[in-house]
Amino acid sequence: MMSEFLKSKVNVAVQVLPTAPTKAAYDVVDEAIAVIADSGVKYRVTPFETVMEGSYDELMAIVKQVQIACFNAGAEKVMCYVKVQSNAADDVTIDDKMQKYDI
């Protein structure tokens, strides 16, 4: 069962709350989102977090890079909240969850 989980797509939601003494928090968050955008994974920015779709290991590596980007952008501290949705037998996709809400 574990090997199937590693092959399936998961969704990871990441929210960063940076404290930066010399920069606006939104500017730091924009740097974090740029890392996600540049990664090539499917993602969706929402008002409170950014949701990514891909393999578990790939997305966790991006979460690490997001935090590094915040510090490189001037953050002194970063609170990083991560949510993971997985399915042992199937992919978890953004489209499956959002399709009925897209207009």
Stated pTM of the model: 0.90
Q: Residue range 4-10: average pLDDT?
A: 76
Contact 9, 82 (CB under 8 A): no
List, for residues 38-77, the tens digit of each pLDDT value. Answer: 999 999 999 999 999 999 999 999 999 999 999 999 999 9
> Under 8 Å CB-to-CB from 94, ≥6 apart: which residues?
11, 42, 43, 44, 51, 53
Domain count for the chain, please give it.
1
Query: CATH number for the domain including 67?
Result: 3.30.70.930
Domain that holds residue 23: 2-101
